[in-house]
Structure 1
């Protein structure tokens, strides 16, 4: 997920989950775990060659999954929140870095 897309999704989630705030966040690049494993002596295999259509197929898969996730029902502060005509839930169990503010 790109930084811009991450920021947009995080902002949208916080705007619909009224009374919540981001209390913890950490990010790492995809290369960091590989670098750490290699520094610890693990054998790092080269990435396999991908079909040129793979990035587009993966992007479509991710967007489809996000649409399905947004359509899931579930409790969010006792009710469902509408997101662009869809409902979704943001709970501390699903997103432990988000907590409810106030009463």
Structure 2
């Protein structure tokens, strides 16, 4: 059954506590974080140096991940901050020990 199981992630990046926030979705969080950390893709995150993983959720189905991403993007800023701080009160980069 593992061959039919997929994993999708909705994630939140920032540069620092209470800094600019970015919400994205991916099917490979480690690869995507490598791209953010090494600025391999031009855009909002590389422009503002948003490369610290503050929060993420995982989903089996891509439609669920996309729905959640849209939901999170529509939250006001304080709700996004509260969501991060519920799971990561010190705004520690959750990907800091990953190998890139």
Report the structure number with the largest CA radius of gyration. 1
TM-score for the superposition, normalised by structure 1? 0.29
Q: Which structure features the higher share of strand residues?
A: 2
Given the two structures, how large is their TM-score scaled by the length of structure 2?
0.30
